[in-house]
Every structure is written in C-alpha cells, then in structure tokens.
Amino acid sequence: MAEDAVFTVRVEEIAAGGAGLARHGGKPVFVEGSAPGELVACRLSEERRSWARAELLEITEASPERIEPRCGRYGLCGGCNLQHIRYEAQLAAKTAIFKTAFERIGGFSPPEPAVFPSQPWEYRNRMQFHRISGKMQDAAWRGGENGGAFGLKARKSGGVVPLADCPIADPGIREALRQSAEGGAAIIPPPGKDRFTVYARGGLFLSDGGKRRGQVTLLNRSLTLDAGLFFQSNGAMLERLIVDLRDIAAAGAGGLMADLYCGVGTFACFLADLFPRAELVEKNKSALALARENLAKTGAGAAAECFALSGDDWAARKTGAPCIFIVVDPPRQGLSPFLSAWLAVKGPPLLAYVSCDPATLARDGGILRRGGYELAELRLYDFYPQTAHIESLAVFRK
C-alpha cells in the first residue's frame, strides 16, 4: 500500500494487545480504537510484509458493542485501551485471544477456560505513575489539566499524561489524585525517581514517596506490603485466585511444595500449611525478606525454606526430595527455556502456572505437554478490565 493510504475495512475481532483486526487485500490490519463488526475508514501508519497498522479516521458503521468511554483521558493515556467496548464483549474478546494463543503458539487445543469477571471500575489497587518535569509540567499547569507533577504514560508518545482522576483506580487512589490536583500533597513523587508506585485498599494508602510499608488484609489474613515491591493490582480478583489455588493444591497435599517467583510470599502464605515442607524461590532479596516476614505471621515459616535464587538456579541446584506440588508465577516473559524443560522432565505431579501473558503460557504449555503433562484446567481472571491484559491459571497434571 502507498504510504498514508486511506481505505475502508470491516473489523473482524479484537486481537491480542487490544486493536481491532481487519483485512485489506488479504493482509491483516490492526486498527486501534475499533470494535468488532464495525466498518471503519483508516489511514495506513505502519506496514510490514505480513501485517499492517492503521489509524482510525471515521466509524462508518458502529459496532453494537461500542460504548462511550468513561474517562476523559481515554485515547491519550496509555493505561486503558478497551473502554470503548462493553465489558461483556471485552471478556468475550479476551477469552477468544486466550484460546487462540494455545492453538497458534502452543500447537494444541486447550480445555474451555472458566472465566471470572471483575468489578469493571475502581478495581485497581496498585498503580505506577511517572513524574512530569520541566516544560511538560509547565504546560500541564497552564492547560489546567492537573495541579500535580505526575501522571500516566501517554499512548502514542514518550510523554506523560497528567490526570486528576482515574475511574479504574481504587477509591483511595482516586481521592488522592483529586487532592493532588487541587494542590494538596496526597501523592508525593519520591526525590530522584521518575517512576513510582502507590497502593490503596480498604483505607490503606502506601506510596514510594510517603508511607511505604503497611498491612493489607486478604481473606482474613494480614500481609505486609512495600510500595516499592511488586504486588497484584486487583485485590478482589487476587482473593478469588488464592481460593482456587488452595483448592487445587489441596488435591496434592503432602510432601514438599515450592513457590517459584514467590514475590512477597502471597501464595505460600495461603498454601504452605497444606504441606509439611515448602520452598520459596525469589531472586529479589527485598521481596524474599518480606516473604519470610509474612510467612512467620501465618505460622508456616518454621516449615518453609527461602532461596534468594532465580528459578533456573534453584532447579539446577535442586537435590533431595522431589516436589509434590509447584506453583509458578513468572513475569511476562514466562518460564526460561531451561526451567520449562526442567519442569517437563523433573516437575511435580501437580503444577499450577499463574500467567500474565497467554502467548508465553501457550509456549511453555506446549513444552510441558511434550514432557508428559496434561493441561487439566484453564481459568481466566480478569484482573484488568478496560485493558487487553489477560491473567490466567493453568493446571498441569502428569
């Protein structure tokens, strides 16, 4: 196609990442901001040999799934990309993306996933903001957009979008944003950091630039959090996931369990009491120290051993009794080739894989299946409504 070509296409579905998928001359074209079924005019913005991207210019026939976005910053801010689609249609799109990943990348058809919806708004307990400085901050002040010195990353540039509110944020974060926009000091960027995190739930408010540590209650248990360390961003969905993990782990209880990529010990705090012994593996030493502290509160600390190692190093050094159950919660990159191959050969009878990326889960799932595992269950937890992010749990049995 010619550079900046304008053309009309029919959007077929939502693709991984959240853009609408259409075809022009047989070539897949991704149109951000479109909805399933609609006819749109768009302009070519990027073309590769096997696919292209196009900018949405006009909606000729709107989709019945299209709705008015709730946020005034939608389209500018990079946080959300599905607010223009009904929530039920978002879930359907994510389910289709999830299943397709296994077929295209894993090379097999997965079981039908159970889908657990979230509260669509005010669900997000943990958010990462970016400092606005220099001329950017001056422009924000003059525009009356925000009285603060921070915001969220812009969708189409390297800039930062200032904001005085965010409808997906926990009410505690929303209130802090409003106060900061009015000149208050509810959210203070820490000195020397361009990026910082806040966490709010049930009256607790933590921030890199203020009170960093505090107690959050999950399923009637208290855990210590640090705003500077990773923690799941949707507390209600996390509780649902923990309940399910405990039911799954109980079927393999007895012997040794391991929690790989354990973070601050969230899963182990609810699973370790089912097993006589537990091993926690986390290369971030600060997170692992907090995991020890949290385990001690549950009474399971005495039977748990912590390893400040990567999953690869733990597996390479693993000796003694084999694990009967392992839960893994890797980053978006998924398992390393070494660890997935090691688990395929030496893994436990029962493996729970918590994933934040269907593509890497499907890839790793293919390796595990070739090693003798069966993908017994799939569950999709919608931790991030209004976005294309997909969190899931896959249960593998040998």
- Domain enclosing residue 261, as ranges: 90-119+234-397
Q: Are residues 151 and 182 in the same domain?
A: yes
Q: Are residues 240 and 312 in the same domain?
A: yes
Q: Is the pLDDT of residue 302 over 70?
A: no
Q: Are residues 314 and 365 in the same domain?
A: yes
69 found inside a domain: no
70 found inside a domain: no
- Average pLDDT value for residue range 183-188: 83
Q: Are residues 110 and 37 in the same domain?
A: no
Q: Are residues 272 and 387 in the same domain?
A: yes
Which of 198, 226, 254 corresponds to the end of one domain? Answer: 226
Q: Are residues 385 and 347 in the same domain?
A: yes
pLDDT digits (tens, 9 = 90+) for 217-259: 999 899 999 999 999 999 999 999 999 999 999 987 789 999 9
Number of domains making up the chain: 3
What is the C-alpha to C-alpha distance for residues 106 and 361, in angstroms, rounded to an integer? Answer: 8
Q: Is the pLDDT of residue 141 over 50?
A: no
Q: Which of 84-93, 100-109, 202-211, 296-305 has the lowest mean pLDDT?
A: 296-305
82 found inside a domain: no
**Can you give the pLDDT at residue 140?**
42
Q: Which long-range contacts (C-beta less than 8 Å, at least 24 apart) are formed by 65-73?
A: 65/35, 65/36, 65/37, 65/89, 66/35, 66/38, 70/121, 70/167, 71/165, 71/166, 71/167, 71/168, 73/152, 73/161, 73/163
333 found inside a domain: yes
108 found inside a domain: yes
Q: Are residues 221 and 245 in the same domain?
A: no
Q: Which token pair is 383?
A: 């931790």
Q: Which of 130-134, 194-198, 305-309, 327-331 has the lowest mean pLDDT?
A: 130-134
- Average pLDDT value for residue range 162-190: 91
83 found inside a domain: no
Can 77 be counted among the known catalytic residues?
Answer: no
Q: Are residues 217 and 244 in the same domain?
A: no
On average, the pLDDT of the chain sits at 92
Q: Are residues 99 and 175 in the same domain?
A: no
Which of 178, 207, 226 corresponds to the end of one domain? Answer: 226
Q: Which token pair is 133?
A: 């400085």
Give the predicted TM-score (pTM) of the model.
0.94
Q: Are residues 315 and 365 in the same domain?
A: yes
**Can you give the pLDDT at residue 115?**
98
Q: Are residues 375 and 309 in the same domain?
A: yes
334 secondary structure, DSSP code: -
- We report the CATH number of the domain holding residue 35 as 2.40.50.140
186 found inside a domain: yes
Percentage of the chain surpassing pLDDT 70?
A: 95
Give me the half-sphere count of Cα atoms (radius 13 Å) on the Cβ side of residue 91. Answer: 15
Give me the half-sphere count of Cα atoms (radius 13 Å) on the Cβ side of residue 112. Answer: 1
Q: Are residues 170 and 222 in the same domain?
A: yes
Give Cβ neighbours of residue 146 (< 8 Å, ≥ 6 apart).
140, 162, 163, 164, 180, 181
pLDDT digits (tens, 9 = 90+) for 56-97: 999 999 999 999 999 999 999 999 999 999 999 999 999 999
Which of 226, 254, 272 corresponds to the end of one domain? Answer: 226
- Average pLDDT value for residue range 207-211: 90
What is the C-alpha to C-alpha distance for residues 335 and 135, in angstroms, rounded to an integer? Answer: 42
Q: Which of 96-110, 131-145, 164-178, 227-241 has the lowest mean pLDDT?
A: 131-145
- Average pLDDT value for residue range 339-350: 97
Which residue of the set 71, 77, 166, 356 is catalytic?
356
Give Cβ neighbours of residue 106 (< 8 Å, ≥ 6 apart).
362, 363, 365, 366, 369
- Average pLDDT value for residue range 365-393: 97
71 found inside a domain: no
What is the C-alpha to C-alpha distance for residues 104 and 100, in angstroms, rounded to an integer? Answer: 6
- We report the CATH number of the domain holding residue 376 as 3.40.50.150
Instruction: Tell me if 163 sits within 8 A of 173, measured CB to CB.
Output: no
- Average pLDDT value for residue range 338-359: 97
Q: Comparing C-alpha atoms, which of 259, 316, 263 is closest to residue 285?
A: 263
pLDDT digits (tens, 9 = 90+) for 41-52: 999 999 999 999
